Amino acid sequence: MQAASSESTAVFELKSGRFTLPNLRLFHTNMDQFADQLEKQVNMAPAFFQNTPVVIDLSQLSGQSTDVDFALLVGLMRGQGMIPIGIRGGTQRQQELAELMELAILSEQQKNEPSKPGASKARIDKKPAANASAALKPQNSKLVSQPVRSGQRVYASGGDLVITAQVSSGAEVIADGNIHVYGTLRGRALAGVKGNRNARVFCHNLQAELISIAGQYRVNESLTEDQMNRPVQISLSGKKLEIQPL
Amino acid sequence: MARIIVVTSGKGGVGKTTTSAALAMGLAQKGSRVAVIDFDVGLRNLDLIMGCERRVVYDFVNVINAEANLNQALIRDKREQNLYILPASQTRDKDALTIEGVGKVLDELSKSFDYIVCDSPAGIERGATMAMYFADDAIVVTNPEVSSVRDSDRMLGILASKSRRAEQGLEPIREYLLLTRYAAERVSKGEMLSVDDVQEILSLDLLGVIPESQAVLNASNSGNPVIMDDDSDAGQAYTDVVSRYLGEDLPHRFLDVRKKGLFVRLFGGQR
C-alpha cells in the first residue's frame, strides 16, 4: 500500500537506457564538400535520416587542431532532417566550440571498434571522399556470436546481420540488409525490412518458423522436405521467395 | 563470497524445487555451508520438500521488510548442520520482492555461506527474474518435451540479458542443463525427446539426467530430499549432478532402457 502511494506522488523516475546511434565520422572540415556528400547520402534513404539523432565523431579528423564550424555543420545536418545531439572525440578546444552550440560531449569509451588507427589512416590518405561512405557502412552490420533465444529480437539497422550461433524457435532476427545464420535457424528471419528486395537470407540449417524478404514471406508449413534441414540461401524473385541449396 | 546458484526453468512442475532441495542437501553433505532460498512467494513449497514446514516462524519477505533479521528467519536443517533454509512468505505476493531487498539479503548471506541456492518460481515474471538477477550459475531444469524446452530457451534468453552480470557487463552467468523426469523407455519409443535432441535445441552443457522415478514423490511426501535416498536411481543421479557441478567428470547414467533381469532373459521373450 505504502509503496503504491509513494509511486503515485512521484512525477518521474530516472532510468538508464541504451541506444545505438549513427555516428557521423568527420574526416576534414571542408564544409562545401561535406554538404555535397551529405545530400547524396541522405537522398539514398531520405526516410531513414528524418529526425534521426546523430553523433558527430571527431576522432578521425585530419589536422586535429583545426577549428570546426559547428554552427554551419549543425545547420547542414538539420537541413537534411538529422538531429545532431553531441560529439565524441576531438580536442579540448573543439569540445568547447561544440558546447557553445549546445552539443553534448560523449565519452570516448567504446574502443571495441575493429578498425585500428593505423589502418584507417592509411585508407584516408588514399581517397578521403570515397572512404567516408565506406567507413559509415560497415558499422551498421551486426555480429552476434551468442545463441538468439526464444523471445529475443535482434535488429541490424541499415545493414547485414551475421549470427554465428543458432536462432531458437520463438526468436526473431531482423535486418535492413542480408541475414546470415551460421547455425540452425529455427526462429523467424526477416531480411530487407525497409524494402530492400535484393536482400537475402543465408543459413546453415533451415528449420525457420517464417522467412521474409522485403515483406514477402513464407511460413514453415509451406517449406518442403528437400528445402529443410540443410544449408540454403533464400532470395526474392518477383513476388516469390526462392530457396536454393548451398 | 558465496556462489549464487539459481534453479530455474520457465515452465512449472518440471522439478525446480526437488532439484533445489537435492542440490542444497548434496552440497551440504560435501561439507559446504549452504543456504537455500524459496523465491516462490505466495506458493511456497520448499519447506515441505525440505521437511521443515512445522518450524517456519519468519520468512524471506519479513527479512526484506526488516521485520525480522536473517538469523531469526533461517531454519537450520536437522540432518545437515551446514544447511539452512530461508522459506518464502505464503501470505504476500511477488511484488514484495525488490532488487534492493533481495540484494541486501544475498549480500548478508554471502558473508557466511559458500553456496546460496535460489529456488525460482515458474514463469518469467517478478519472482523468477528476482531469483535469477544476482546469480553466478544457473541450472535450467527441463523435461524432455517440446513446451518445456521452449520455455527453458526463453529463460536462457532472459538470463543472458536481464541479470546483474549482463547489465554490468561482467562475465556471463554459467548455464547448465538438467534434464529431469527422463523416461528412457518412452524416449526409445519416440514419445519423448532424447538427451541429444534437447541438447541440440538448447546447445548447453549437460549437468545431468534425472530419471522419472517413484522415489521423487516419496521423497516429497516424507520431506527428505531425494538425494538422501541412496538406493533410488533419482537419488544417485542427483549425487552425480552435485559431483559434476563441483568439477568431477562422471559419465551420464540412466540414459538407456534398463536391461531386463536375468530371469526374463533366460526364460522370457523371443530371441
ipTM score for this prediction: 0.74
Whole-number Å distance between alpha carbons of B96 and B126: 10
Residue A119: predicted pLDDT: 40
Is residue A17's pLDDT more than 90? no
Confidence of residue A111 (pLDDT cuts 50, 70, 90): very low
Distance from CA of A123 to the nearest CA of B (A): 33
- Has this prediction a pTM greater than 0.90? no
Q: At B115, list the grid cell.
A: 553456496
Length of chain A: 246
Cα atoms found within 13 Å of the Cα of residue A195, Cβ hemisphere only: 4
| pLDDT per position as a tens digit, A122-136 | 343 434 444 444 444
The residues, ordered by sequence, that sit 6+ positions from A228 with a Cβ below 8 Å of its Cβ are A206, A207
Whole-number Å distance between alpha carbons of A170 and A172: 7
Residues of A in contact with B154 (CB under 8 A): 149-151, 170
Q: At A1, list the grid cell.
A: 500500500
Whole-number Å distance between alpha carbons of A79 and A76: 5
Listed in sequence order, the DSSP H helices in chain B are 16-29, 46-49, 60-64, 70-73, 99-112, 126-133, 146-162, 164-167, 184-188, 195-202, 214-222, 233-245, 262-267
**Is A149's CB within 8 Å of B150's CB?**
no
Give yes or no for a contact between A108 and A59, defined as CB atoms under 8 angstroms apart.
Answer: yes
For A146, the closest of B150, B153, B160 (CB atoms) is B160
Q: What is the rounded average pLDDT for all residues in chain B?
A: 93
Q: Which residues pair with A233 in a beta bridge?
A: A202, A244
Which chain B residue has its CA at the smallest distance from A186's CA?
B201
Closest CA to B211 of B181, B178, B251: B181
| pLDDT per position as a tens digit, B40-82 | 999 999 999 999 999 999 999 999 999 999 999 999 999 999 9
B77/A73: higher pLDDT:
B77
Residues of A in contact with B153 (CB under 8 A): 149-150, 168-170
For A150, the closest of B95, B150, B161 (CB atoms) is B150
| pLDDT per position as a tens digit, A201-230 | 999 999 999 999 999 999 999 999 999 999
Closest CA to B136 of B174, B167, B168: B174
Confidence of residue B232 (pLDDT cuts 50, 70, 90): very high
**Is A170's CB within 8 Å of B201's CB?**
no
Whole-number Å distance between alpha carbons of B52 and B48: 6
Which chain A residue has its CA at the smallest distance from B124's CA?
A151
Whole-number Å distance between alpha carbons of A155 and A19: 13
For the residues A64-77, what does the mean pLDDT come to?
Answer: 80
| Site from B153, B162, B197, B200 to mutate, A interface, most A CB atoms within 10 angstroms | B153
For the residues B185-190, what does the mean pLDDT come to?
Answer: 92
**Is B153's CB within 8 Å of A150's CB?**
yes
Give yes or no for a contact between A185 and A208, defined as CB atoms under 8 angstroms apart.
Answer: yes
Residues of A in contact with B158 (CB under 8 A): 151
Is residue A32's pLDDT more than 90? no
Residue A2: predicted pLDDT: 47
Confidence of residue B268 (pLDDT cuts 50, 70, 90): low
**Is B160's CB within 8 Å of A149's CB?**
yes
Cα atoms found within 13 Å of the Cα of residue A121, Cβ hemisphere only: 7
A72/B143: higher pLDDT:
B143
Is residue B207's pLDDT more than 50? yes
For B154, the closest of A3, A146, A149 (CB atoms) is A149
